[in-house]
Amino acid sequence: MELDEKKYLYLLFILPILVVLYLVNLYWKRKKQREFGDLEMVKKLSPESSTFKPVLKLIVLLLAMTGLILGLVNPKIGTKMETVKREGIDIVFAIDVSKSMLAEDVAPSRLEKSKQLVSKIISQLGSDRIGIVAYAGSAFPVLPITSDYSVAKMFLQSMNTEMVSSQGTSLDDAIKLSATYFDEKSKTSKLLIMISDGEDHSEGAEVAAEDANKIGMKIITIGVGTEKGGTIPFRKNGIIDSFQRDNNNQVVVTKLNEASLTAIAKATKGGYVNGNNTKEVLEYIKNALNNIQKTEFDATEMADFQSQFQWFLGIAFVLLFLDVFLLELKTSWVNKLNLFNENK
């Protein structure tokens, strides 16, 4: 069993509060009755008043509220197991998170544009498995290969330029780390999609791409930025506070380097696409995926969970309906049973 909305379980704390309030109210009533006169005499003045009925009403109300809360929580029960077979490829997204990706020559910024592109690509995938790598001066694993796209998007949105301490754009480290995501012995097609402005501050990116090609890995590169380039702003509370400067205290202008990205893709017989036009990127990736051979993943056992909230809500409404007709007066057949020794 799994619970869909666990946060509503906190509402169960209301139940003991209601019990305490009932006991406080009962104590207050008894106190006032004693002030009015002898307790036994007061009972004789109201012979139809029941001790059992108020307790029963409280129990019914508590059960009804429990049912409503459990209905909000929406318990789900796995009613059957089924085998699901998937066909697809393994894809790793390597996203540049260096400081140059803060440039705003592409709105809202190169990094935010990259995240938007990856999110839209993920949305149009079918049964492919995906992983995420972040890189700047070095590469950093963000998410291992998974088929859970919602989790992937959650990790994607949390990516920023503070993730990797060493600055620069080490494309070769990104390729090498991405290659470790794939099983070399697996026949599943392997695809690396790199998103960057192409400003590589390391050597050996093409060599790393050639090594990746030997294990059957194809690379598609997406360039984000413009040839004209842009400055690198640093913001405080959403307002630009300063700009990146070089050793001569000159404001740095970072430009898109399509040549390096094209060379990397060419080394694996992949392809390059400019990322400034979202529609063109999605169309390019879609066509590329259609031309890559799909393989069947291992069969996965999955539970088909079904919501059970309707049962709890139904019981709750029945109990609330009964509570309306429960009066705090003695019922004749209950009076005959004398369960609480009310008859003297």
Q: What is the dihedral of CA 258, 261, 265, 270, to 10 degrees?
A: -50
Mean pLDDT of 126-152: 90
- The angle subtended at Cα 1 by Cα 63 and Cα 85, nearest 5°, is 150
Ordered by where they begin, the domains of the chain are 2-80+304-337 (no CATH), 87-296 (3.40.50.410)
To the nearest whole number, what is the mean pLDDT of the chain? 82
**CA 38 vs CA 30, 42, 45, 187, 303: distances in Å:** 11, 6, 11, 90, 65
Q: What percent of the chain shows pLDDT beyond 90?
A: 36
Identify the residue with better confidence: 8 or 120.
120
* CB distance 279 to 117 below 8 Å: no
Residue 321 confidence class, pLDDT cut points 50, 70, 90: confident
Residue 251 has pLDDT above 60, yes or no: yes
Give the whole-angstrom CA distance, residue 210 versus residue 2: 47
CB 339 within 8 A of CB 52: yes
Contact residues for 338 (Cβ-Cβ < 8 A; gap 6+): none
**Count of residues for the chain?**
344
- Rounded to the nearest 10 degrees, the angle between the axes of helix 278-290 and helix 110-123 is 40
Between 118 and 304, where is the model more confident?
Answer: 118
Q: Rounded to an integer, what distance in angstroms lies between the CA atom of residue 344 and that of residue 332?
A: 15
How far is it, in rounded angstroms, from Cα 7 to Cα 20?
Answer: 23
Q: Is the pLDDT of residue 37 over 70?
A: no
Q: Give residue 201's pLDDT.
A: 59
Q: Please report the pLDDT score of residue 50 as a whole number.
A: 59
Q: Residue 151 above 60 pLDDT?
A: yes
- CB–CB of 192/94 below 8 Å? yes
Is residue 35 helix, strand or coil?
helix
Q: Which of 114-118, 240-244, 294-298, 329-333 has the lowest mean pLDDT?
A: 329-333
Q: How confident is the model at residue 307 (pLDDT cuts 50, 70, 90)?
A: confident
Per-residue pLDDT tens for 179-188?
999 887 777 8
Q: What is the pLDDT of residue 333?
A: 45
Grade residue 299 by pLDDT with cuts at 50, 70 and 90. very low
Kindly report which listed range (91-95, 277-281, 294-298) carries the lowest average pLDDT score: 294-298
| pLDDT higher than 90, residue 339 | no
